[in-house]
Amino acid sequence: MNYDYQNIKKEVEILVKEACERTVVRDRIWEFHIVPVVTFSKKLGEKLGADLEVLELSALLHDYASILDRKFDKIHHIESAKKAREILAEMNFLEDKINHVADCIEAHRGSIKQKHKTIESKILASADAMSHISEPVSMMHLAFRVLDNKVVEGASWLKEKIKRSWEKTMPEGQEMIKEDYERIVKILENAIER
């Protein structure tokens, strides 16, 4: 079966971007989270010889369910995988690639210790964690605005989140964001020590 990947990607981008624009809770999630996850996924995928189509679609759809409705936050990896299957099947994407995308999404969530079956799955999880480090403004929004933390408790929470994200990042990804990681940890430590 032939498929037009560029058209599928474009339709998925539009779908996810429009959902991001409609959500009121996550301010600018498209620019500060989805785009960095896609970018890191593609860079790591190129470096490690992974399936870039699977990576790109997985990155675009990895948080889709929780973007649509916060009630899915704790199970967004499962619900986003289901939605990805539905969306990509409607677009006549290849069934084996749909399953691969869904598997990557199901295993991307760092707080759920899931085994990564493929390099693409490992890359998506790393790219997701890397975005937490490379986009500290988005994470600060979460720590202070969404979670409503005070300065020191928010900085402590964020420092631990950043450290966990670092530990979940594959070595090739750590190499890419090492300076960002060291800079944000130092800033947070200074805030906590005041």
Domain ranges of the chain: 5-193
Q: How many CB atoms lie within 10 A of CB 93?
A: 24
Total-model pTM: 0.91
What is the overall mean pLDDT for the chain? 91
Question: From first to last of its 194 residues, what are the pLDDT tens digits of the chain?
Answer: 678 999 999 999 999 999 988 876 666 889 999 999 999 999 999 999 999 999 999 999 999 988 887 765 666 778 889 999 999 999 999 999 999 999 999 988 765 667 778 999 999 999 999 999 999 888 888 889 888 999 999 999 999 999 999 999 999 999 999 999 999 999 999 999 98
CATH of domain 5-193: 1.10.3210.10
Q: Are 20 and 35 in contact (CB under 8 A)?
A: no
- CA–CA–CA angle 66, 103, 99 (5° rounding): 110
Q: What is the DSSP letter of 169?
A: S
How many whole angstroms separate alpha carbon 167 and alpha carbon 175?
A: 12
